[in-house]
């Protein structure tokens, strides 16, 4: 499946229809070679991670632009840490 940049917006909310999905991220390469990150969640604050990468938005829906795949990996790592911290059982 191939989409033009900007056409992904209709797909971003779809994983939220799955009952077991709590957090999801979409990474879309821009025409300039950066990556647009869509952060979405049903309960966990994703805005904190978006802000760490100069993005922002709302607690359950945020976005950011990152320069390369190395930074994409860092976003994933930080989001995983956020999810683990939010779901940790004492």
Domains of the chain: 7-87 (3.10.310.30)
Strands ordered across the beta sheet of 61-66: 23-29, 35-41, 61-66, 56-58
Token pair of 54, please? Answer: 């100069």
Chain centroid, CA 50 distance in Å = 8
User: Could you tell me the pLDDT band of residue 89, with boundaries at 50, 70 and 90?
Assistant: low
| 43-69 residue pLDDT tens | 899 999 999 999 999 999 999 999 999
Burial status of residue 12 (CB atoms within 10 A of its CB: 0-12, 13-18, 19 or more): middle
pLDDT score, position 24: 87
| 7-29 residue pLDDT tens | 777 666 666 666 777 898 989 89
């Amino acid at each position: 499946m191939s989409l033009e940049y900007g056409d992904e917006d209709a797909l971003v909310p779809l994983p939220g229809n799955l009952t077991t999905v709590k957090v999801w991220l979409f990474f879309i390469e821009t025409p300039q070679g950066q990556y647009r990150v869509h952060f979405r969640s049903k309960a966990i604050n994703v805005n904190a991670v978006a802000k760490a990468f100069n993005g922002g938005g709302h607690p359950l829906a945020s976005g950011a632009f990152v320069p390369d795949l190395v930074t994409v990996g860092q976003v994933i790592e930080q989001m995983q840490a956020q999810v683990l911290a939010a779901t940790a059982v004492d």
